[in-house]
């Protein structure tokens, strides 16, 4: 009597089972995607409808405007060209402040971690600086640096600088000590150690902080424009609110939010290309 070969037992072959599992998993994932997307669309539509038709029942319409009015106002601002001037000014201020804040934050962090005990000495001062609400500094910045672009750029830079500084220091401190030891025994030191171990080791934390801080740069720029400006989205929002043009206020807010999301998506795309070893990218 021979023992039957298990491979010849009745039933589907391995290839069929695998194909079945793959198509099953694919279908389940597609169903889930559809569910999420339709959920987002439904919730968004419900919120807009509530705003359009529900809010006027509770509050007078001129205080809260309505999605249809905001959309019309937005279209008007785009068509008469007024919007682009404001967008350009605010993006310029926020962008310049963003880049300055990142550069200064990175440099300061590297100095802080490379001089022994310096970050402990600087610690209390930085903590105090963190706890100042930056909004309190905005009027002073206008006083010191005038009514032009400079105070807005500096406010944006300040907002970014502190976050990048803290995250870079934490990123460097978080590098696996064994990695540094092994690299040193292999002969890495000085600038090469910084370039080949410290910078890439801290990169995920640094890049996550860079991605998250563009919204803060926008806050800095818009805040400066609130206090004193003749152009920019912050100026548009403040001027419209003083004139009870609620629809324009909301249009400005929508534009700020869209700009932040666009830049975030761009930075995320750059991040995925620059740090391919972080599966799924760094989260901060």
Partner 1 sequence: MADPPLEEAIRLEAVYKAFVPRGRSARPLLALEGVSFAARPGEFISLVGPSGCGKSTVLNLLAGLTRPSAGRVTHHGRPVSGVNTEVGYITQDDNLLPWRSMARNVEYGLELRRVPKAERRRRVREFIDLVGLTGFEDHYPHELSGGMRKRAGIVRTLAYDSDVVLMDEPFGPLDAQTRVILQDELLKLWDLRRPTVLFVTHDLVEAIALSDRIITFTCRPGRVKREYEVRLPRPRDVFHVHDLPRFRELYDALWDDIRMEIAAT
DSSP state, residue 3: P
Is 276 near partner 1 (CB under 8 A)?
yes
CB 244 within 8 A of CB 62: yes
Closest by alpha carbon to 66, among 195, 250, 241? 250
Indicate the residue among 65 and 168 with the shorter CB distance to partner 1.
Answer: 168
User: How far apart (Å, rounded) are the C-alpha atoms in residues 88 and 81?
Assistant: 12
Indicate the residue among 81 and 276 with the shorter CB distance to partner 1.
Answer: 276
Cα distances (angstroms) measured from residue 257 to each of 118, 163, 216, 233: 38, 20, 12, 11
Site string for partner 1, 21-50 (x = CB under 8 A): ------------------------------
Which residue do the tokens 């001027």 mark?
239
User: How far apart (Å, rounded) are the C-alpha atoms in residues 193 and 106?
Assistant: 17
Indicate the residue among 76 and 200 with the shorter CB distance to partner 1.
Answer: 200
Site string for partner 1, 121-160 (x = CB under 8 A): ----------------------------------------
User: How far apart (Å, rounded) are the C-alpha atoms in residues 69 and 88?
Assistant: 24
Which residue do the tokens 């890495």 mark?
188
CB 168 within 8 A of CB 109: yes
Indicate the residue among 68 and 196 with the shorter CB distance to partner 1.
Answer: 196
Site string for partner 1, 61-100 (x = CB under 8 A): ----------------------------------------
Indicate the residue among 133 and 276 with the shorter CB distance to partner 1.
Answer: 276
Cα distances (angstroms) measured from residue 108 to each of 103, 152, 229: 9, 21, 31
Site string for partner 1, 173-202 (x = CB under 8 A): ---x-xx-xxxxxxxxx--x---xx--xx-
Indicate the residue among 183 and 194 with the shorter CB distance to partner 1.
Answer: 183
Smallest distance from partner 1 to CB 83, Å: 42
CB 51 within 8 A of CB 64: yes
Smallest distance from partner 1 to CB 279, Å: 6
Indicate the residue among 125 and 277 with the shorter CB distance to partner 1.
Answer: 277
Smallest distance from partner 1 to CB 181, Å: 6
Identify the three-state secondary structure at position 265: helix
Residue ranges that bind partner 1, judged by CB under 8 A: 176, 178-179, 181-189, 192, 196-197, 200-201, 203, 275-277, 279
């Amino acid at each position: 009597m021979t023992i039957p070969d298990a491979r010849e037992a009745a039933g589907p072959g391995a290839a069929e089972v695998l194909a079945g599992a793959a198509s099953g998993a694919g279908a389940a994932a597609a169903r889930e995607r559809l569910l999420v997307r339709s959920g987002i669309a439904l919730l968004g539509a419900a919120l807009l409808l509530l705003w359009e038709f529900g809010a006027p029942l509770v509050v007078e319409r001129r205080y809260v405007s309505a999605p249809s009015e905001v959309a019309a106002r937005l279209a008007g601002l785009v068509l008469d060209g007024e919007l682009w001037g404001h967008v350009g000014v605010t993006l310029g201020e926020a962008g310049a402040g963003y880049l300055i804040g990142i550069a200064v934050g990175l440099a300061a962090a590297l100095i802080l971690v490379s001089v022994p005990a310096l970050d402990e000495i600087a610690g209390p001062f930085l903590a105090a600086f963190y706890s100042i609400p930056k909004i309190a500094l905005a009027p002073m910045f206008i006083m010191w640096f005038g009514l032009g672009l400079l105070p807005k750029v500096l406010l944006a830079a300040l907002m970014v600088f502190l976050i990048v500084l803290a995250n870079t220091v934490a990123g460097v401190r978080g590098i696996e000590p064994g990695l540094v030891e092994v690299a040193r025994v292999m002969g890495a030191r000085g600038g090469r150690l910084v370039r080949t171990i410290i910078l890439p080791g801290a990169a995920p934390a640094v890049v996550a902080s860079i991605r998250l801080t563009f919204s803060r740069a926008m806050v800095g720029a818009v805040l400066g424009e609130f206090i004193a400006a003749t152009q920019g989205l912050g100026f548009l929002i403040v001027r419209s609110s003083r004139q009870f043009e609620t629809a324009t206020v909301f249009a400005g807010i929508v534009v700020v939010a869209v700009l932040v999301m666009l830049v975030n998506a761009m930075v995320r795309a750059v991040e995925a290309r620059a740090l391919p070893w972080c599966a799924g990218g760094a989260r901060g």
